[in-house]
Each structure stands twice: as structure tokens, then as C-alpha cells.
Amino acid sequence: MIEIQNLSKIYKTKNGEVNGVDNVTLSVEKGEIYGIVGYSGAGKSSLLRCINLLERPTSGHLTVDGVDLTVLRGEPLRLARLKIGMIFQHFYLISQKTVYENIAFALKAAKVPAKERIDRVEKLLEMVGLSDKRDVYPSQLSGGQKQRVAIARALANNPKVLLCDEATSALDPTTTKSILNLLKKINQELKITIVLITHEMNVVKEICNRMAIMQEGRVVEEGAVYNIFASPKTELAKEFIASVVSYDIPETIANSCEGPLVKVTFRGKVAGEGVISDTLQQYQVKGNFLHGSIEYIQDLPLGIFVMELKGAKEEIKQALKYIEERDAQVEVLRDGV
């Protein structure tokens, strides 16, 4: 659905040129929810704005639904943009217009006939759960309701792609969850491809199929969300994941352990099986659990446990080999003292 090839965006400032997006190549498949993660200044918003050419790339190519947008100008570009909806962190609703009028405005701008506008807005209000707010003004809405209006407006012209620029950053956790559930519903029912940028890994964990992590304008890690959570390759990915799932052991506890400290990661259905208990029964090894839980990412379990092992070195070695043979990932955090 979206193909980005060697895309760069250079900004000219008083202090020289700045690479907002630096030679990015990635693809987003039709119908998936794709997350782009990074800290402020990483280039994720610049990349998103390049996808609908709110920012024109300095170099590279961007293809959406088979059309290279970078070669379009004027009316062809305007028509192509109608198939790309966008929502923002701060909603950008027109305060002097009602909920109905805010949504209808996008249709009027696209020159949709009046009767079609009425039918379309009513259906969108029902989809986002705001039929009872049809004639109220934005000032009378909560943050979550404002974002629902913005989503309805973005969907007005039946886009094939929905871009979300920090769409939940201004919302409280409960409202964030409701908006993410709405986006999942839209994705599933309308088959719309969603690209979502955020600095919150909880959002990615909740809703995204695949993701890219950006730093200084570049993509430093990319892949399935589950795989990145299970086995992050970069320090930045590990840092982001630690903000959601932390397995740090207090130094005083770690220093009191005599045996080696190991981290065991179980993927998929094996996460719910008793591999560790089986291991401790089969080998002359005792396990002291220090931390652990099973996370669910896109409904798939991911089990991560940190424990101290006590026993003869050869027995511990054989026990860890047994665990690895059952499709678990073992990382020795510290050898025994």
C-alpha cells in the first residue's frame, strides 16, 4: 500500500541544513496498522507529513496505492490526497462550526453533493459513537470526543490510508484506550491502512502489527511488533520497551545472589507452558524467581522471567540447554559469584 524508497527531507535553517528524514526505506502493507516510534526530533512527524506531501521530500520516492506522489502537482495531487486521511494530536476542529459541520466541511471541500454529505456524515457519526453530539460545538466536547470528530472528518472522503500524528498524546489513559479501540474497529471494518506515530510504546503494543523505530531521521530498527518486543536489536529499542516492560532487579537484590542471574524469554504458546518447572524437576538446580510476567502483544503471549539459578555449574549448563531446546531465549545477565 505504501512504499517509501530512499526518502530524505532536508530543512534549511539559519544554522545550516538539517536532515529531518535521512534516506528512509520501508513499506506498509495494505490493511495493517503500522507504528513509527521515536523521541521528539527523531523525524517521525516529518516522515508522516511526507507521506501525504504536506512536506515535499527533498529526494526519494513515495508510492501510495500504486501512485508515486512525488511526481504529482496541482489537481492530480489534490485528488490523490483525498485518499489519505490525517488526524493530529490537537484535533484542529473549527470552533465556530458544529460537529456535523466540521465533518461535512471535508466533504464540501471535495465538492460532494449536499444530499450525499448528509448521509455520509450521519453514518460517520454513528461509527465514531457521536450521533447524539451532532449539533454541539467543539467547546462542549471532551478531548476524546474531539478526537472522534477529527477521526470522522478524516474518514469523510473514504480514504484508503489514515495517518495518525500523536493522536492520543493529549488524552488520558482511559480515553486513549477507547480511541485505540476505535482505530482498530476502523481498520478491521473499513480495511483502511493506518500509519501511527507515537513516542508511547504502550500504544504500539496495543494496536500495531509492525513498527519502525527512528532516531536522527533514520530508521534504526524495523519489524513485527511482537518480534521487537521479544528480541530488540538496538539499545534504543530496548530503552523504549523498558518504558513498558521493565525487568530491572534492584542492585541490592542482585548483589545478594550467589548463583548466575538469567533472563528467559518464551514466545508464543510456549509462554503458557511449564518449561521452567519441568526443568527444575529434571535437573539438580534450584530457581529463585526475581521478576517475571506474561505480556500479551496482539493477543500473542510473551513470557519473560528473571531468576537466580543455584546448583553445580554442569547441571545449570544442562538446564539452560534444555530450556533453549524448548524454543526459549536465554540470556545470562550475570555469572554467579
- What pLDDT, on the 0 to 100 scale, is given for residue 272? 56
Q: What residues have CB less than 8 Å from 31, skipping those under 6 apart?
A: 1, 187, 191, 192, 193
What is d(CA 75, CA 70) in angstroms, rounded to the nearest whole number? 14
- What pLDDT, on the 0 to 100 scale, is given for residue 60? 94
Give the model confidence (pLDDT) of 200-237 as tens digits. Answer: 898 999 899 999 999 999 999 999 999 999 889 999 99
Question: Taking 60 as the threshold, does the pLDDT of residue 337 lie above it?
Answer: no
User: What residue ranges define each of the domains in the chain, with the CATH number in brackets?
Assistant: 2-242 (3.40.50.300), 251-334 (3.30.70.260)
The answer to whether residues 226 and 304 touch, using CB atoms and an 8 Å cutoff, is: no
Q: What is the mean pLDDT of the chain?
A: 89
Give the model confidence (pLDDT) of 258-294 as tens digits. Answer: 888 888 888 877 665 678 888 888 888 888 888 888 8
- What pLDDT, on the 0 to 100 scale, is given for residue 243? 84
Q: Phi and psi dihedrals of 23, rounded to 5?
A: 55, 55
The answer to whether residues 275 and 325 touch, using CB atoms and an 8 Å cutoff, is: no
- What pLDDT, on the 0 to 100 scale, is given for residue 142? 93
Task: Annotate 271-293 with three-state secondary structure.
Answer: HHCCHHHHHHHHCCEEEEEEEEE
Return the amino acid letter for 263.
K
What is d(CA 203, CA 69) in angstroms, rounded to the nearest whole number? 29
Global pTM reads: 0.87
What burial class does residue 41 get, using C-beta atoms within 10 Å of its C-beta: 0-12 exposed, 13-18 middle, 19+ buried? middle
Three-state DSSP class for residue 35 = strand
Of the candidates 238, 307, 313, the residue with the CA atom closest to the CA atom of residue 277: 307
| Cell numbers found for residue 36 | 513509527
The answer to whether residues 87 and 151 touch, using CB atoms and an 8 Å cutoff, is: yes
- What pLDDT, on the 0 to 100 scale, is given for residue 336? 63
Q: What Rg do the C-alpha atoms of the chain give, in angstroms?
A: 24
Poorest-confidence range of 107-116, 175-184, 218-227? 107-116
- What pLDDT, on the 0 to 100 scale, is given for residue 303? 84
Q: Give residue for cell 531468576.
A: 307
| Cell numbers found for residue 8 | 530524505
Give the model confidence (pLDDT) of 8-53 as tens digits. Answer: 999 988 888 888 999 999 999 999 999 999 998 899 999 999 998 9
What is d(CA 124, CA 131) in angstroms, rounded to the nearest whole number? 9
Looking at per-residue pLDDT, the higher value among 295 and 271 belongs to 295
Ranked by mean pLDDT, the top range of 153-162, 167-176, 315-324 is 153-162
